[in-house]
Amino acid sequence: MSDSKLVVGLAQIAPAWLDRVATIDKVVAWISDAANKGCDLVAFGEALVPGYPFWVERTGGAAFESTLQKELFAHYVSQGVCIEDGDLDPVCDAARHNNIAVYVGVMERAANRGGHSLYCSMVYIDRSGNVGSVHRKLMPTHEERLVWAIGDGNGLRTHKLGPFTVGGLNCWENWLPLPRAALYAQGEDLHVAIWPGNVRNTEDITRFIARESRSFVVSVSGLMRREDIDASLPHADLLIETADDVMANGGSCVAGPDGEWLLEPVRGSESLSVVEIDHARVLEERHSLDVVGHYSRPDVTRLIVNRKRQTTAEFSDDD
C-alpha cells in the first residue's frame, strides 16, 4: 500500500454449499492467497457462507407448511453464522495474520434477534482482525424473502483503509439511491458491491455507481454450479435434479471513477482478480461532480439515516 494506491483482490469462488465450516476453511485459504499476491483488501460474494438459497425458486419455496421447505430451511439455519459464538474467528485470524482487510457475505444467525432467522449480512473485517461492521441487507429480493429476514441500517458504515474510505452493499440493495447516498455522505470513495453471482447483475450497475459517485466500484460475485451440490445434503437428489448446470456464473469486475472498466466482468470459473487502484483518480473525477460535496444542496434535500440496531426487546434489569 502506497500513499495513494491500494491493491484489491476479488475472490470469485463457489461455497462448499450449505456447509459453514468447509466454506469458511475455503475463505481462509483464499485470504492467504490474496495476501501473498499483495492485496490490501479481499472481497467475497453475497451470502457465500454457507451459500445462496438456490433451491427456493426451483422447489416450490412458497408452499405454506411444506415439510420439504421446513427441512431445507432448518438445515440452512443450522449452517448460518453466529458472530457472537465465534463462527467467523478463523476469518478474523486470517485477516490479522495476513495483515489484510476482508469483506465477506454471510447468512447471519443474529443473536439479538433470537438466533433462528437468517440475515444476509456483509461483514467488514479490518487488517487487525476486528469486525468493523455487519450490514444486514435492508430488503431481501423476491424469493429471498421466503428464507431471509429484513435487516436494518446499523451497518451503513464506512471504514478508512489506506488512502481510501471503503463501504459496501449487498446485491440489489446497490440499486437503492438512499443507502448509496448514506455511504457517499460518509466519504466513501471505494464501493464494494457483493453478489451471489451473475454477469447480468454486475455489468451495468458497476459502471453506473462509479459514474454517479466518482468512486472506484468493485463488484464481487460468487459461483454456483450443479456440481457444487453435495450428495450428503438433505434432499440432495431433488436439489441436483432441479438445479441448472450453472446457477451463478460470476461477473466480478472493477470500474474506475470515470465509469470505465479496470477489470471487465470475469465469468465462468473460480478466480482471484487483483487490481491496483489510485486515489488520485478519485480527486480528479470529483472536480466536476461530487454528489455530497460541491454538487449537493443540503439546504434543499437531505437524508436522515437510522443506524440503530433493531431488536425485538430491550431489557432493563435492577442491579
Cβ pair 311, 112 in contact under 8 A: yes
Query: 139 phi and psi, to 5 degrees?
Result: -145, 105
Query: 36 phi and psi, to 5 degrees?
Result: -65, -25
Which stretches of 185-317 are DSSP H helices? 199-213, 236-242, 279-285
Residues β-bridged to residue 225: 246
Distance (Å, whole) CA 64 – CA 285 = 51
How far does the chain reach from its first CA to its final CA, in angstroms?
Answer: 49
Residue 46 bears catalytic tag: yes
Alpha-carbon distance values, 318 to 1, 112, 143, 274 (Å)? 50, 20, 44, 54
Which residue bears the cell 439511491? 177
Count of C-beta atoms within a 10 Å radius of residue 269: 11
Count of C-beta atoms within a 10 Å radius of residue 302: 10
**Catalytically annotated residue among 26, 46, 108, 144:** 46
Distance (Å, whole) CA 319 – CA 314 = 16
C-alpha cell read off for 70: 421446513
Listed in sequence order, the residues at least 6 apart from 150 whose beta carbon sits closer than 8 Å to its beta carbon are 137, 138, 139, 140
**Catalytically annotated residue among 26, 108, 120, 137:** 137
Distance (Å, whole) CA 52 – CA 118 = 12
Distance (Å, whole) CA 274 – CA 251 = 14
C-alpha cell read off for 241: 435434479
**Catalytically annotated residue among 171, 188, 253, 285:** 171
Residue 92 bears catalytic tag: no
Residue 137 bears catalytic tag: yes
Which residues belong to the active site?
46, 137, 171
